């Protein structure tokens, strides 16, 4: 049995040990890390809006951090092996992993390589959600509403939508679970 003079020391030692063990089990705040991305792409309903071209995108934060996906189908097309992506009126879904960004996504650079028998493409919108445990969930919808084509206005295979300087829209969400 411990003497009365050693009892406070033993209690204090046990409390200190418990404190050290409990703080060691708490993970450090994540800096960067890997996030899951969910991307919806809505092809327009105008005549011949669909494409067989390779579609890629880059999303960025206001500070310039970003992820680049050169080929959405190869990166994370989840619709099945015989599915035709980017067809007229379709909503396509893509999922994949990439680095977590430290602030909300606010800029989109959408590209087409203009290849294939149906090279022109009309995109209505792109919606991007990024999430990971202990990270804020960022969601942004980008209204594109334009052709990515060399034979349709604005005669470009790139569409840029930049909300970084604008006030956050109602479609921007920062949630922490």
Dihedral sign computed on CA atoms, order 27, 29, 34, 40: positive
The strand order across the sheet containing 121-131 reads 91-99, 34-43, 121-131, 137-148, 173-175
Tens of pLDDT along 68-115? 999 999 999 988 888 999 999 999 999 999 999 989 999 999 999 999
What is the distance of C-alpha 41 from the center of its chain?
13
Tens of pLDDT along 114-146? 998 899 999 999 999 999 998 888 999 999 999
Q: Is 20 exposed, middle or buried (0-12, 13-18, 19+ CB in 10 A)?
A: exposed
Q: Which token pair is 121?
A: 């493409």
**For the chain, which domains are there?**
32-175 (2.60.60.20)
Mean pLDDT of the chain: 82
What is the distance of C-alpha 150 from the center of its chain?
28
């Amino acid at each position: 049995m411990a003497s009365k003079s050693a009892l406070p020391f033993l209690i204090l030692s046990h409390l200190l040990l418990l404190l050290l063990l409990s703080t060691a089990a708490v993970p450090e705040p994540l800096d960067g890390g890997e996030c899951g991305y969910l991307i919806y792409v809505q092809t327009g309903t105008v005549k011949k809006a669909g494409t067989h071209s390779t579609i890629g995108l880059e999303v960025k934060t206001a500070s310039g951090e970003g992820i680049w996906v050169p080929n959405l189908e190869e990166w994370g097309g989840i619709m099945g092996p015989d599915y035709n992506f980017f067809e007229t009126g379709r909503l396509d879904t893509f999922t994949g992993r990439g680095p977590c960004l430290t602030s909300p996504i606010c800029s989109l650079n959408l590209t087409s390589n203009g290849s294939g028998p149906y090279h022109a493409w009309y995109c209505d919108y792109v919606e991007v959600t990024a999430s990971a445990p202990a990270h804020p969930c960022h969601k942004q919808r980008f209204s594109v509403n334009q052709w990515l084509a060399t034979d349709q206005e604005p005669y470009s295979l790139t569409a840029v939508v930049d909300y970084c300087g604008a006030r956050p829209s109602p479609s921007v969400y920062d949630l922490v679970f």
